[in-house]
Amino acid sequence: MHFLHIAELLRTHSTIDGGALAVIGALCITHTLFDFRILLLLIFGTLSLAWGMGFNEICDVEYDRRTNINKILIRGDLSKEEATIIVLGGFLISTAIGTYLAYFSFIAMSLLVALMISGVCYDLYSKRTAWAGLFAGAWMFFLILFGAAVVGTPNLLVFAIAFYCGLYMVEACSIQGSIKDIVTDPPANVALALGSYANDDVGVYLSSSFKALSISIKATQILILFVLLYLLPHLNTVFYVIATILLCASISTFCKYMAFSSVDQRESLKRYLTLSAVFSFSLIGFTLASFVSVYELLLLFAISLSWLIVWSYLVTGSVLGTRH
């Protein structure tokens, strides 16, 4: 068992996102990164997403085998039994850290249980029901609330950010994921469930029901952003200008991927989906700048970016080496 195989199973290159989300909730209360609980939340969130990613690989292994997807369990670099041991280890460590953080708070402990149940349900049902994205959204919602509950009492700002990020996760899994995988996904796909389809004659057809649901989710996100702007203190003209630019960019990428009409456009679609995530979460990071030191936010961003670059390079190198 190679160390980088474990990293690939847990998708280590992107799991710090989970840690950053837990920290976002806490920052709404502490207004500073320099708190020991912030470090523990970063580790907890990272490990939580890591074991969740690994468990998802295990749950989807039969589907991946049928569709010949080149993933680590399909290639045989790790056995299912080895993957189970690794995921269980990550689960136990993250649970121990989460329990320590939540020990003196009934609310935090309840949120810890809720986010763990949501994550497990998503992994179990993501390929079995079209609406599993709701579990993913609930996981992110509860994770952000948990981060806040560990250091204090979640306030209206925390709830607004948690709802926004939770809705984006629903969009990413149920809308973006449905479009991206409309050709390869099983019937457990929101687009297919709402009458969309793809074939050689018409390419990709997105039904009016699916588009209506997509627009409703995006419109609700935008409404929550306006609530956030109302809640944030000490805003100036520059803040509003940058927020408007980011919002327009987010809406533009949404329109681009909703116009997806051909499987030949798949690479362009992936680019728009990546940009959508960047713009959507940049809006949240930017709102934090109104009450958290810019230098501290830059430090958090630098840590996240460095982690992403290093692990992406290592994991990609591991996969390519295996192919050769």
Q: 38: burial class by Cβ within 10 Å (0-12, 13-18, 19+)? A: buried
Give the per-residue pLDDT at 296.
Answer: 79
d(CA 87, CA 55): 6
C-alpha span between 83 and 78 (Å, rounded):
6
How far is it, in rounded angstroms, from Cα 180 to Cα 177? Answer: 5
Q: Strands 197-199 and 203-205: what pairing? A: antiparallel
Residue 111 vs residues 108, 117, 203, 242, 299: alpha-carbon distances, Å: 5, 10, 43, 33, 27
Question: What phi and psi, each to the nearest 5 degrees, are found at residue 223?
Answer: -60, -45
Cα angle 117, 47, 287; round to 5: 85
State pTM to two decimals. Answer: 0.87
- For residue 196, which of 130, 138, 144, 245 has the smallest C-alpha distance? 130
If one counts every other C-beta atom within 10 angstroms of the C-beta of residue 74, the result is 16
The pLDDT profile of the chain, 324 residues, written as one tens digit per residue, is 567 777 777 787 667 777 788 888 898 888 888 888 988 998 999 899 889 888 888 887 877 677 666 777 777 778 888 888 999 999 999 999 999 999 888 999 999 999 999 999 998 888 788 888 899 999 999 999 999 999 988 888 899 999 999 999 999 888 888 888 777 766 678 888 888 887 766 678 888 999 999 999 999 999 998 888 777 766 677 777 888 888 898 899 889 888 877 766 667 777 888 888 888 888 887 777 777 777 877 887 787 777 777 766 665 554 444 444
15 contacts: CB under 8 Å, gap ≥ 6: 46, 47, 49, 50, 53
CB atoms within 10 A of CB 324: 4
Please, what's the b/e burial string for 176-201 (b: 16 or more CB within 10 A of its CB; e: otherwise)?
A: bbbbbebeebeebbbbbbbebebeee
Give kind and range of the element (H or E) at residue 1. none
- Does residue 246 contact residue 279 with C-beta atoms inside 8 Å? yes
- CATH architecture type of domain 1-153+295-324: Orthogonal Bundle (1.10)
Nearest to 190 by CA among 121, 122, 133: 133
From residue 210, give the alpha-carbon distance in Å to each of 174, 205, 256.
10, 10, 15
Tokens coding 153: 């009492």
DSSP letter string, 276-324: HHHHHHHHHHHHHTTTS-HHHHHHHHHHHHHHHHHHHHHHHHHHHHHH-
